[in-house]
């Protein structure tokens, strides 16, 4: 097997009797965009939390760039090159847009000046530069999502874990976000693993999709094939549909 | 070290510990139910000490008799304090609660200082130096009576919380605030009632305390710290835990006073506090937090 | 930074600030000895308040036992001076070190074992009380009888040994207060400062951005403890005597936190404002009651208690946040830091 960038190997996570993630394995190659889908409660965010270091897996391993990162603290995972966004965005409300991204950039740069320059680059890229002095609390939801992405990007991450970035956005905003992500992937080679319910976005972005249901991986493959997979249809629509 | 001496010290500590336990019980009720950091608990206890002292000086009332009026006084004070001042703070961050009550504590203790001065005030009872001989043990009657009264009050409280309707309502609110609201319980009144009960406990404990020790304002912060230590060691929300914690602290302080040095005895309590916070934060009898 | 500060203030307020600064610089020539001693106390508490604020505002830990660090700084430097003749400014360092170690231990206990809120506050009280009782028994440091510092230099101006006339102590206290302000402002604009702000805003998000929350918080605790210890050295050499009962007492810890709470928690100006409001107020009250022929020990503290209750009910964030809006600070200034 070619050296995968990120490799989730037989990861299981239990919460006091509930097996939230059950023996899930998949891998990401450099430069891929992979979608992680499944009904609510399927274990997607739990899996993200395991990869991001918020939770330690009960069994299995997570390998990043060849080494095991399972059980590393979240900040160490970020320093290793993986950044994540949150399902419900968490901007630093009292701080300006610029300061928000600056804090992300500090993970990648030694000096404050260099971090500022990096932050500027990211802000301009995501068209947030005009709003740089605005306190994050004053931003609209689409802009907050953009900010969340900008902040994660500023850390210099080579892998982005995006948790339902499209939720709550209108179609035009979704298209814009998709375009941004595609550009990041194409131009910078940023690898992306995204949890999404908005199929429009998943189909537009992902070259591969992994499907979870009740904590287990039930399908994996090209988008067109996966969405017609009988198990996938059953999980979303119930027994009668298939 | 003669065994009889050690035994006497232990018993003395145990009896005092029961009174401390009652004081801590009041805090456990307040902290556990209303979830307010009553940093003025020791001050309330000392207030009760002075109230008992005044009743003794003015009417010659034995503190054991003043129990009722002082408890009533503290109950009302606690009820009003909670209903009028503290209620909006129940949902506010802990440090704000703490500051509010630290302010109240400062007011109480320094008002006492202004009125009574810093010198120790003593209650001279006819039976103050009588003791009961039980084998090798020589038990001070005042200590025994105080401890018995403390246990009696604690038992009464236990029955109240387990058997009465209001007591059950209070316990329900402590367990599940939202659920209790859904069922239609009136919080503000229940909280005020609970705070009043907690204050009354401090009131009884203070009245009993004057039998054991002279009243000075300086005792107040020590009592507050002691109450919190006992509650944490014994376990928040457990009434038996408060009494047990009180006894544990009372006994260990008495032993420490004997074996190390009297002035060092509170260091034992602090060491216990740190130990419990680090090793078993839910205390000896507390459930999972 | 001065430019940023000026840009954030209305011209009217700029004048006021400048006037205050000039007054403070020339105070020994402008006011009498008594007022000067009051000013020293104000500046001392402004300094300690600032130091305490670092731990509360940036480590998020409520400490009601900061007198521990004052005492450690005071006793270590004073002890070294009394027994070995170590001059104050040199003895300052081991004092700060001792306090840093104590702070690190307490901070570690609190952070590592997730002891927060009121439980942590109780922990800090317990440690301060522990010190109070413990130091009562350390004969080498005077025990309960007290440690007395011999006055040297014949009253001449000796900064190195922190001995001299009242003007010396005044300028040292001014330097401390101003220095603390500048230090905190500088810290806030540093990498660590930004990390502190992030942690305060949203800990989980901060972690996801590579911030080692534990380390940053510990840094705040150690800075706070070390700064406080320096204040301890000052007060030891200013008063020339130390007693465990009064040095480590919980009342001292509460004195320290009054300023920042009344002035404004987590802000730079808060502790300074609080100290300037509280101390003179207390003195005025004392003066009024004494003039009326009343000797009421404890009145000042009752007033402190009342003030705490009033402020926490009406302005829980402190006076400064409410005041700065009225003074016309521009919304973009400081991004929440000031």
User: Hey, how many other C-beta atoms are within 10 angstroms of the C-beta on B135?
Assistant: 7
pLDDT surpassing 80 at residue B180: no
**A194 and A165 Cβ atoms separated by less than 8 Å:** yes
Helix axis angle for B41-59 and B219-234, nearest 10°, is 130
Across chain B, mean pLDDT equals 87
Mutate to test the interface with C, among B222, B277, B279, B282 (most CBs of C within 10 A): B277
- Letter string b/e over residues A163-182, b meaning 16 or more CB atoms within 10 A of that residue's CB: bbbbbebeeebbebbbebbe
Q: Beta A159-163 vs A82-84: how paired, if at all?
A: parallel
| Residues whose CB is less than 8 angstroms from the CB of residue A194 and which lie 6 or more positions away in sequence, other chains included | A33, A34, A35, A36, A160, A161, A162, A163, A165, A181, A201, A202, A205, A206
Residues B226, B228, B234: CA angle, nearest 5 degrees: 100
**A87 and A163 Cβ atoms separated by less than 8 Å:** yes
Helix axis angle for C33-54 and C250-263, nearest 10°, is 80
Q: DSSP letter at B215?
A: B
Residues of B in contact with C109 (CB under 8 A): 274, 277-278
Q: What is the pLDDT of residues B56-80, one digit of tens each?
A: 999 988 888 999 999 999 999 999 9
Alpha-carbon span B63 to B51, nearest angstrom:
9
Show the tokens assigned to B164: 């009465």
pLDDT for the residue numbered C290: 78
pLDDT for the residue numbered B2: 80
Are B and A neighbours with ≥3 CB pairs closer than 8 A?
no
pLDDT for the residue numbered B287: 59
Q: What is the pLDDT of residues B199-225, one digit of tens each?
A: 999 999 999 999 988 999 989 988 998
Residue B22 to residues A7, A140, B40: CA-CA distances in angstroms? 59, 55, 16
Q: Using the beta-carbon criterion (under 8 Å), do A107 and C209 form an inter-chain contact? A: yes
Residues of C in contact with A92 (CB under 8 A): 197-198, 201-202, 205
**B246 and B199 Cβ atoms separated by less than 8 Å:** no
Residue in chain A nearest C213 by alpha carbon:
A75
pLDDT beneath 50, residues of chain A: 1, 241-242
pLDDT for the residue numbered B124: 84
Residues of C in contact with B97 (CB under 8 A): 118
For residue C251, give the H/E element and its range. helix C250-263
Residues of A in contact with C207 (CB under 8 A): 54, 73-75, 78
pLDDT for the residue numbered C153: 58
pLDDT surpassing 50 at residue C316: yes
Q: Which of A213-222, B102-111, C26-35 has the lowest mean pLDDT?
A: C26-35
**C98 and C76 Cβ atoms separated by less than 8 Å:** yes
Q: Which residues does residue B139 pair with via DSSP β-bridges, in sequence order? A: B132
Q: DSSP letter at B128?
A: T
pLDDT for the residue numbered C269: 84
Distance from CA of C9 to the nearest CA of B (A): 30
State in Å, rounded, how far the first CA of chain C is from the last one. Answer: 13
* Residue of A78, A94, A115 with shortest CB distance to C208: A78
Alpha-carbon span B109 to B231, nearest angstrom:
22
DSSP A87-125: SS----TTSBHHHHHHHHHTTT-SSHHHHHHHHHHHHHH
Dihedral angle sign, alpha carbons of residues B249, B250, B255, B256: positive
Alpha-carbon span C104 to C107, nearest angstrom:
5
Q: Which of A12-16, A187-191, C228-232, C303-307 has the lowest mean pLDDT?
A: C303-307
* Residue of C205, C210, C335 with shortest CB distance to A99: C335
Q: DSSP letter at C202?
A: -
pLDDT surpassing 60 at residue B227: yes
pLDDT for the residue numbered C308: 84
Q: Please tell me which residue, A187 or B265, carries the higher pLDDT value.
A: A187
ipTM above 0.85, yes or no: yes
pLDDT for the residue numbered B154: 92
pLDDT for the residue numbered C315: 84
Where would I find the H helices in C113-190? 117-135, 166-188
Q: Using the beta-carbon criterion (under 8 Å), do C213 and A52 form an inter-chain contact? A: no
pLDDT for the residue numbered B277: 87
* Residue of A52, A74, A94 with shortest CB distance to C336: A94
* Residue of C202, C212, C335 with shortest CB distance to A75: C212
Alpha-carbon span A225 to A207, nearest angstrom:
11
Residue in chain A nearest C190 by alpha carbon:
A112
Band (pLDDT 50/70/90 cuts) for residue C328 is low
Q: Which of C26, C1, C325, C330 is nearest to C187 (CA)?
A: C1
B85 touches chain C (CB under 8 A): yes
Alpha-carbon span B9 to B15, nearest angstrom:
10
Chain A touching partners, 3 or more CB pairs below 8 A = C
Alpha-carbon span C309 to C305, nearest angstrom:
6
What is the count of residue pairs from A and C with beta carbons less than 8 Å apart?
83
Q: Which of A195-199, B157-161, B170-174, C251-255 has the lowest mean pLDDT?
A: B170-174
User: Hey, how many other C-beta atoms are within 10 angstroms of the C-beta on A80?
Assistant: 17
| Residues whose CB is less than 8 angstroms from the CB of residue C53 and which lie 6 or more positions away in sequence, other chains included | C184, C224, C260, C265, C266, C267, C270, C271
Q: Using the beta-carbon criterion (under 8 Å), do C206 and A112 form an inter-chain contact? A: no
Residues of B in contact with C121 (CB under 8 A): 95, 98
**Hunting for tokens 């932050």 — which residue is that?**
A119
Residues of A in contact with C201 (CB under 8 A): 92-95
Q: Which residues does residue A217 pair with via DSSP β-bridges, in sequence order? A: A212
Alpha-carbon span B47 to B109, nearest angstrom:
8
| Residues whose CB is less than 8 angstroms from the CB of residue A127 and which lie 6 or more positions away in sequence, other chains included | A146
pLDDT for the residue numbered A192: 95
pLDDT for the residue numbered C298: 77
Chain B touching partners, 3 or more CB pairs below 8 A = C
Band (pLDDT 50/70/90 cuts) for residue C9 is low
Alpha-carbon span C125 to B110, nearest angstrom:
20
Q: What is the pLDDT of residues C131-176, one digit of tens each?
A: 998 999 888 888 888 899 887 655 566 777 777 788 889 999 999 9
| Burial group, residue A187, by CB count within 10 angstroms (0-12, 13-18, 19+) | exposed
* Residue of A75, A83, A102 with shortest CB distance to C211: A75
Secondary structure class of C228 (helix, strand, coil): helix
| Residues whose CB is less than 8 angstroms from the CB of residue B9 and which lie 6 or more positions away in sequence, other chains included | B254, B255, B257, B258
DSSP A187-238: HH--EEEEE-S-HHHHHHH-SEEEEEETTEEEEEE-HHHHTT-HHHHHHHH-
Alpha-carbon span C164 to C171, nearest angstrom:
11
Q: How many residues does chain B have?
A: 289
Distance from CA of A81 to the nearest CA of C (A): 9
* Residue of A52, A95, A133 with shortest CB distance to C208: A52
Residues of C in contact with A133 (CB under 8 A): 332
Show the tokens assigned to C20: 């205050």
User: Hey, how many other C-beta atoms are within 10 angstroms of the C-beta on A4?
Assistant: 18
C10: Cα separation from own chain's centroid: 28
- What share of chain C in percent tops pLDDT 70? 90
Q: Which residues does residue B133 pair with via DSSP β-bridges, in sequence order? A: B138
Q: What is the pLDDT of residues C87-101, one digit of tens each?
A: 889 999 999 999 999
Q: What is the pLDDT of residues C257-286, one digit of tens each?
A: 888 988 888 788 888 888 888 877 777 777
Residues of A in contact with C202 (CB under 8 A): 90-93
Mutate to test the interface with C, among B41, B81, B97, B106 (most CBs of C within 10 A): B106
Band (pLDDT 50/70/90 cuts) for residue B148 is very high
Q: Please tell me which residue, B161 or C79, carries the higher pLDDT value.
A: C79
pLDDT for the residue numbered A161: 96
What is the dihedral angle through the alpha carbons of C331, C332, C334, C337, rounded to the nearest 10 degrees? Answer: 60
Alpha-carbon span B45 to B68, nearest angstrom:
14
Q: Please tell me which residue, B171 or B276, carries the higher pLDDT value.
A: B276
């Amino acid at each position: 097997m070619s050296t995968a960038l990120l490799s989730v190997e037989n990861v299981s996570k239990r919460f006091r009797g509930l097996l939230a993630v059950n023996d899930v394995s998949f891998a990401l190659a450099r430069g891929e965009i992979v979608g992680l889908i499944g009904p609510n409660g399927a274990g997607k965010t739990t899996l993200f939390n395991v990869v991001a270091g918020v939770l330690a897996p009960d069994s299995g391993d997570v390998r990043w760039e060849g080494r095991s990162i399972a059980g590393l603290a979240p900040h160490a995972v970020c320093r290793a090159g993986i950044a994540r966004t949150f399902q419900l965005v968490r901007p630093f409300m009292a701080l300006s847009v610029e300061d928000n991204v600056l804090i992300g950039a500090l993970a990648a740069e030694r000096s404050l000046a260099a971090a500022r320059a990096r932050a500027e680059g990211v802000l301009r890229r995501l068209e947030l530069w005009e709003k740089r002095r605005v306190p994050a609390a004053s931003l609209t939801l689409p802009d907050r999502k953009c900010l969340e992405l900008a902040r994660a990007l500023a850390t210099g991450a080579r892998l982005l874990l995006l948790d339902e970035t499209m939720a709550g956005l209108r179609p035009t905003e979704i298209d814009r976000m998709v375009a941004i992500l595609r550009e990041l992937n194409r131009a910078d080679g940023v690898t992306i693993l995204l949890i999404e319910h908005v199929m429009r976005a998943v189909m537009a972005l992902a070259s591969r999709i992994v499907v979870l249901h009740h904590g287990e991986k039930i399908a994996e493959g090209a988008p067109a094939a996966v969405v017609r997979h009988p198990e996938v249809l059953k999980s979303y629509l119930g027994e009668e549909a298939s | 070290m003669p065994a009889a001496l050690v035994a006497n010290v232990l018993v003395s500590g145990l009896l005092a510990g029961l009174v401390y336990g009652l004081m801590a019980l009041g805090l456990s009720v307040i902290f556990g139910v209303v979830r307010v950091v009553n940093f003025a608990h020791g001050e309330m206890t000392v207030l009760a000490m002075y109230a008992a002292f005044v009743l003794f000086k003015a009417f010659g009332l034995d503190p054991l008799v003043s129990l009722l009026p002082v408890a009533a006084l503290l109950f009302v004070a606690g009820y009003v304090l909670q209903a009028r001042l503290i209620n909006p703070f129940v949902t506010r961050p802990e440090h704000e609660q703490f500051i509010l009550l630290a302010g109240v504590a400062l007011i109480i203790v320094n008002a006492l200082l202004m009125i009574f001065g810093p010198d120790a005030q003593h209650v001279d009872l006819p039976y103050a130096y009588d003791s009961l001989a039980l084998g090798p043990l020589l038990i001070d009657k005042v200590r025994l009576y105080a401890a018995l009264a403390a246990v009696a009050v604690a038992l009464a409280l236990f029955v109240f919380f387990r058997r009465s309707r209001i007591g059950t309502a209070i316990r329900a609110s402590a367990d599940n605030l939202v659920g209790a609201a859904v069922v239609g319980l009136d919080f503000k009144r229940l909280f005020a009632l609970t705070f009043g009960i907690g204050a009354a406990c401090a009131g009884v404990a203070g009245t009993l305390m004057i039998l054991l020790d002279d009243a000075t304002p300086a005792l107040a912060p020590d009592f507050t710290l002691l109450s919190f230590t006992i509650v944490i060691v014994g376990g928040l929300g457990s009434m038996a835990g408060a009494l047990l914690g009180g006894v544990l602290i009372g006994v260990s302080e008495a032993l420490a006073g004997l074996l190390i040095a009297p002035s060092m005895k509170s260091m034992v309590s602090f060491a216990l506090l740190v130990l419990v916070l680090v090793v078993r934060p839910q205390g000896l009898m507390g459930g999972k937090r | 930074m001065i430019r940023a500060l000026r840009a954030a203030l209305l011209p009217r307020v700029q004048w006021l600030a400048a006037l205050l600064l000039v007054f403070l610089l020339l105070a020994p020539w402008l006011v009498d000895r008594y007022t000067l001693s009051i000013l020293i106390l104000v500046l001392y508490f402004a300094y300690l308040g600032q130091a305490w604020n670092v731990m509360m505002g940036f480590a998020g830990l409520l400490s009601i036992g900061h007198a521990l660090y004052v005492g450690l700084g005071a006793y270590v430097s004073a002890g070294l001076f009394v027994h070995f003749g170590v001059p104050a400014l040199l003895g300052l360092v081991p004092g700060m070190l001792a306090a840093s170690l104590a702070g690190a231990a307490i901070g570690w206990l609190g952070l590592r074992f997730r002891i927060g809120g009121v439980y942590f506050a109780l922990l800090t009280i317990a440690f301060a009380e522990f010190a109070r009782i413990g130091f009562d028994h350390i004969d080498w440091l005077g025990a309960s009888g007290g440690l007395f510092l011999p006055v040297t230099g014949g009253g001449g101006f000796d900064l190195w040994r922190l001995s001299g006339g009242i003007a010396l102590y005044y300028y040292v206290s001014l330097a401390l207060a101003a220095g603390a302000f500048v230090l905190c402002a500088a810290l806030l604009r540093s990498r660590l400062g930004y990390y502190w702000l992030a942690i305060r805003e949203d800990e989980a998000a901060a972690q996801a951005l590579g911030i080692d929350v534990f380390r940053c918080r510990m840094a705040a605790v150690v800075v706070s403890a070390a700064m406080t210890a320096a204040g301890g050295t000052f007060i030891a050499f200013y008063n020339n005597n130390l007693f465990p009962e009064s040095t480590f007492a919980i009342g001292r810890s509460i004195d320290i936190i009054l300023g920042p709470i009344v002035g404004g928690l987590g802000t730079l100006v808060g502790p300074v404002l609080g100290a300037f409001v509280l101390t003179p107020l207390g003195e005025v009250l004392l003066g009024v009651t004494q003039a009326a022929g009343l000797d009421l020990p404890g009145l000042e503290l009752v007033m402190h208690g009342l003030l705490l209750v009033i402020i926490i009910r009406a302005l829980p964030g402190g006076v400064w946040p409410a005041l700065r809006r009225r003074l016309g600070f521009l919304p973009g200034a400081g991004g929440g830091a000031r």
